[in-house]
Chains A and B, each alone.
Chain A
């Protein structure tokens, strides 16, 4: 074998191995064979989901819910509990207020009167959204509110998957604050706070959205095939003393309305 030929072979090898380097460019560190939250799984489970629900009759590790009152709002005889199973302090109330504003105000409103900004847009169930200031709910034991948040009630869906038990108790505590505040006498409020409150304007945008006109067809008929046409002024959530009108609802029998973003309805 002469010298030149060897060099050619070597060159070919070097060039070949350089090409092999390209084969090293792959995506399996970017897309690793692991299950991430809510990602799709084609290999492991038939339904294509990585997440497993709890199997009935089993307890996930570290999630034994031994404190029945805390986790269900019921005592051992299945009666709604009347006392909070947690210490109620200012921190809990503040937390409750925050969580209430996230999860409850859409339907129940900031004041808990059942006139939330979503419910007012066309909830048409036979029974109106719960108003905490009725005698029935004012006399309900705290366990009732916890149970309703956990398991739902009427058309209200369960919130146990979205709100932790501690936060649920915080919300219940805040509901009690709303109930107390709704009927409290202005005279019981310290003078300094009273001046501050009197200086504040009423907030019609928040809790008193425009009422639906009498005889308005239910919202579910809006813009759907065979649905009725209606034009209702819809107010969106607004700051003190202000109702911001949103765009008029597109009306028509199954009309096609282009949506910004290039996708057609």
Chain B
């Protein structure tokens, strides 16, 4: 009887065995990449909104303070979307016939809220608090991406737990102080950054960490001196690093 398999079948068998062993690794890698892809996380994916509101226009080109609309961001957990009254404070005077703003006018007339598409969401077993982050000097851009460059708002970071933990494990790499404006509290520094962007859009005259924020990156640094300064700031601002990774800090 002739041989059923040619000698090359040996190689084929070995390769297929090896592939089988490698399959879990490939599957794991593919899965993790899919999970991190913007198709899953929605990062940098502008959502359709009832009104094509532009942060770039309002916050950067015009220079309206973040807090004019997000009034709760300094003192509550939830930054808050503006009520229709806030939109109408200007748009009762400007662009009053614009068809784009019809949903705003309708909402104001009927009292029915504008239904925005939710851009940033953490799972509901996570209790994220805006005010504590802003009051310790974590910039809006650190977690939301380059808001001043967004026409239609998109999610800037994936908001995965591993992403949160980067800062919660090494906060000293993130905290910075605006050395040119030492009188500012960390909270004021967060918002003053946007005022500075008006004349310095790429942050060329800012400190290295603010420059990163201007470019849309996180305020992270690994430069030794800056990390040492970050460690000082941890003490000054009362950040208890040892507790930052406790489960109950975010899952209470």
Query: Which residues of chain A have a CB within 8 Å of any CB of chain B?
Result: 29-32, 34, 36-38, 40, 47-49, 98, 101-103, 106, 117-118, 121-125, 155-158, 161-163, 219-225, 227, 236-239, 242, 244, 246, 259-263, 265
Give the residues from 25 to 80 in chain B that come closer than 8 angstroms, CB to CB, to chain A.
46, 48-49, 52, 54, 61-65, 67-68, 71, 78, 80
Q: Are A162 and B71 in contact (CB under 8 A)?
A: yes
How many angstroms between the C-alpha atoms of A220 and B105 in the bound complex? Answer: 14
Report the minimum CB–CB distance from A96 to chain B (whole Å).
14
Query: Which residues of chain B have a CB within 8 Å of any CB of chain A?
Result: 46, 48-49, 52, 54, 61-65, 67-68, 71, 78, 80-81, 83, 85-86, 88-90, 92-100, 111-113, 115, 123-125, 150-152, 154, 188, 198-199
Report the minimum CB–CB distance from A34 to chain B (whole Å).
7
Q: Are B46 and A263 in contact (CB under 8 A)?
A: yes
Q: Are A224 and B52 in contact (CB under 8 A)?
A: no
How many angstroms between the C-alpha atoms of A49 and B111 in the bound complex? Answer: 11
Collect the chain A residues with CB atoms within 8 Å of residue B71's CB: 162-163
Q: Are B97 and A118 in contact (CB under 8 A)?
A: no
Q: Are A262 and B198 in contact (CB under 8 A)?
A: no
Most chain A beta carbons < 10 A, residue from B64, B98, B124: B124
Q: Are B68 and A259 in contact (CB under 8 A)?
A: no
Q: Are A98 and B188 in contact (CB under 8 A)?
A: yes
Which of A162, A225, A237 contacts B63 (CB under 8 A)? A237
Which of B85, B96, B150, B151 contacts A220 (CB under 8 A)? B96
Q: Are B85 and A158 in contact (CB under 8 A)?
A: yes
How many angstroms between the C-alpha atoms of A98 and B68 in the bound complex? Answer: 12
- Chain B residue nearest to A226 in the complex (CB): B97
Q: Are A239 and B78 in contact (CB under 8 A)?
A: no
Q: Are B85 and A157 in contact (CB under 8 A)?
A: yes
Other A-B pairs beyond A30-B125, A118-B62, 15, CB < 8 Å = A37-B78, A49-B113, A118-B94, A121-B62, A123-B93, A155-B92, A155-B93, A157-B89, A158-B85, A219-B95, A220-B96, A225-B97, A236-B61, A259-B52, A265-B100
Which of B46, B89, B123 contacts A29 (CB under 8 A)? B123
Collect the chain A residues with CB atoms within 8 Å of residue B150's CB: 261
Residues A227 and B62 in contact in the complex (CB < 8 Å), given A32-B124, A38-B78: no
How many angstroms between the C-alpha atoms of A240 and B61 in the bound complex? Answer: 16
A sample of 22 inter-chain contacts (CB < 8 A) reads A30-B125, A32-B124, A47-B112, A48-B112, A121-B94, A122-B94, A123-B94, A124-B93, A155-B93, A157-B89, A158-B85, A161-B83, A223-B98, A224-B97, A225-B97, A236-B61, A238-B198, A238-B199, A260-B152, A261-B152, A262-B46, A263-B152
Residues A242 and B67 in contact in the complex (CB < 8 Å), given A219-B95, A259-B151, A262-B152: no
Residues A101 and B199 in contact in the complex (CB < 8 Å), given A29-B123, A32-B124, A161-B85: no
How many angstroms between the C-alpha atoms of A246 and B90 in the bound complex? Answer: 19
How many angstroms between the C-alpha atoms of A29 and B61 in the bound complex? Answer: 40
How many angstroms between the C-alpha atoms of A101 and B92 in the bound complex? Answer: 21
Collect the chain B residues with CB atoms within 8 Å of residue A220's CB: 93-97
How many angstroms between the C-alpha atoms of A118 and B63 in the bound complex? Answer: 9
Report the minimum CB–CB distance from B194 to chain A (whole Å).
11
How many angstroms between the C-alpha atoms of A167 and B221 in the bound complex? Answer: 36
Collect the chain B residues with CB atoms within 8 Å of residue A161's CB: 83, 85
Most chain B beta carbons < 10 A, residue from A220, A223, A242: A220
Report the minimum CB–CB distance from A38 to chain B (whole Å).
6
Residues A31 and B198 in contact in the complex (CB < 8 Å), given A117-B62, A237-B62, A259-B52: no
Q: Are B151 and A260 in contact (CB under 8 A)?
A: yes
How many angstroms between the C-alpha atoms of A49 and B54 in the bound complex? Answer: 25
Which of B81, B96, B199 contacts A239 (CB under 8 A)? B199
Collect the chain A residues with CB atoms within 8 Å of residue B96's CB: 220
Collect the chain A residues with CB atoms within 8 Å of residue B65's CB: 101-103
Q: Are A265 and B68 in contact (CB under 8 A)?
A: no
- Chain A residue nearest to B91 in the complex (CB): A220
Q: Are A30 and B124 in contact (CB under 8 A)?
A: yes
Collect the chain B residues with CB atoms within 8 Å of residue A223's CB: 98
Collect the chain B residues with CB atoms within 8 Å of residue A98's CB: 188
Which of A32, A34, A37, A227 contacts B97 (CB under 8 A)? A227
Report the minimum CB–CB distance from B199 to chain A (whole Å).
4
Which of A31, A38, A117, A242 contacts B81 (CB under 8 A)? A38
Collect the chain A residues with CB atoms within 8 Å of residue B95's CB: 219-220, 222, 224
Collect the chain B residues with CB atoms within 8 Å of residue A263's CB: 46, 48-49, 52, 152
Closest 5 pairs between A and B when the two form their complex, measured CB to CB: A261-B152, A237-B63, A239-B199, A220-B96, A224-B97
